[in-house]
Amino acid sequence: MMSNKVLSLGASFPEFNKKAVVSIEKGKEFYDLSYEEIKNSGKWMVMFWWPKDFTFVCPTEIAEFNKHYPDFADRDAVLVGASTDSEFVHVAWRRDHEDLRGLQFPMLADTSKSLATELGILESEEKVAYRATFIVDPQGIVRWVSMYDLNVGRNVKEVLRVLDALQTDELCPCNWQKGEATLNA
């Protein structure tokens, strides 16, 4: 069960400064990533969370986000992956798992669980993050939140579809896809 309220639409995304894994190259693995830096870039942010490293559903999602990394970059969106595991566990997992070695986005380590708690996505029994995804606009406002049960992987193409729709700043009908007409009110 949830312990906090999930940070919802219209809320300001909380400030953070966390260790992130950005490489598996010795001496270049870690980077201090702050939300201030992302906000100052003037870009959108897509942050997706997974429960645990070295598990089964998680790497399928992470690899799929990585496959679509250029699509997020084309949309002026900073992609950030996160879990409550440490940066050392992240780097070990990246070195160990073939699909994760070439990741193009940072793996944020929320070892204090403070960000997951602020976001309201910490599962109360195991104290791991739910599979949550946040799309945050360049002004730092949460524009989309989705959460999945620990056992169910998300659909990365749907994250891109919603990002596209939000970026039109227009009315987008059900199942709208980039390039299709929007609605006139």
CA distance 95 to 103: 11
**List 24, 33, 45, 58, catalytic entry:** 58
CA distance 72 to 54: 25
For residue 135, the Cα-to-chain-centroid distance in whole angstroms is 8
**Maximal CA-CA distance, the chain:** 55
Q: How many CB atoms lie within 10 A of CB 118?
A: 16
Whether the CB-CB separation of 139 and 133 falls below 8 Å is answered with no
Active site residue 172: no
CA distance 35 to 69: 19
Which structure tokens are listed for 53?
Answer: 């490293």
Helical spans, DSSP H, in 75-152: 87-96, 114-119
53: β partners:
none
Q: How many CB atoms lie within 10 A of CB 98?
A: 9
| Catalytic residue numbers, as ranges | 58
